[in-house]
Amino acid sequence: MLRLNSHHLINNFPEGSSFFKRVFGQLAFLFMVTKVTPRKNHLTEADYHQALSTIKKGDVILVGGFRSISGFFLGKLFTHSLLYQGDGECVHASVDGVDTVGLSELFNEYDSLAILRPKIGDVEEKVIEKALTFAREQLGKPYDFYFEHVSDRHYCTLLINTAFSQAGFDAGLNVEERVKRPLLVIRLHRVVKADRFLRGNFRLAFLSESLKGREREIEDLMKK
């Protein structure tokens, strides 16, 4: 099981990656997970039990980790996204590649959490199973450090968007408008961040206590 935000060497790079790309990926990882404050995370045991009673297969989990440097770059409200596959397990793309992680582990690491439910309709179960099947087929594929939007690697939002797309559901992230660019700095600027799900084809199912008071802000984003 992946240990979130632990400092270690990354071995899962795309085949044929240059020495420069491997060094860049490792340095980016070590920099982004460096903690800027030693405080405890803001999610509570009550949040966990309520989320567990609410969540369903196919839900998208958005989490915010604002103790590390990555919180300054990856989103205003959320810094990571995961796809819930049931039985307390999530599929996601992290720096180590596509992996699974326990729902309970998120509550030991992050400061905020929201659960979004796709607006699918009558064929929900069929679409969810197809999306989860695709996501599981990506297990072991490396992280897309250069945000190139290619099929042999993923970053978190792209993995989930592609999974739903393969199942015939438009998540509403407009990823095709954010295709790869020749310069890394431009690709970093246009990367699809976790907050983007709030403007997608989802409805809000759960907000952690740490986000209370920001409901109106989140609801306004979901109306845009």
Write out pLDDT tens, residues 65-77. 765 655 555 557 8
pTM of the model: 0.80
Residue 55 phi, psi dihedral angles, 5° rounding: -65, 145
CA angle 211-214-220, nearest 5°?
A: 130
Residue 59 included in any domain: yes
Confidence of residue 116 (pLDDT cuts 50, 70, 90): very high
Residue 207 included in any domain: yes
* C-beta separation of 31 from 23 below 8 A: no
Confidence of residue 5 (pLDDT cuts 50, 70, 90): very low
* Overall domain count for the chain: 1
Give me the amino acid identity at 179.
Answer: V
- What domain range is 116 assigned to? 35-223
Residue 98 included in any domain: yes
State the burial class of residue 26 (Cβ atoms within 10 Å of its Cβ: 0-12, 13-18, 19+): middle
Mean pLDDT value across residues 90-97: 91
**What is the domain-level CATH number for residue 55?**
3.90.1720.10
Alpha-carbon dihedral angle through residues 177, 18, 160, 139, given to the nearest 10 degrees: 160
Confidence of residue 126 (pLDDT cuts 50, 70, 90): very high
Residue 25 included in any domain: no
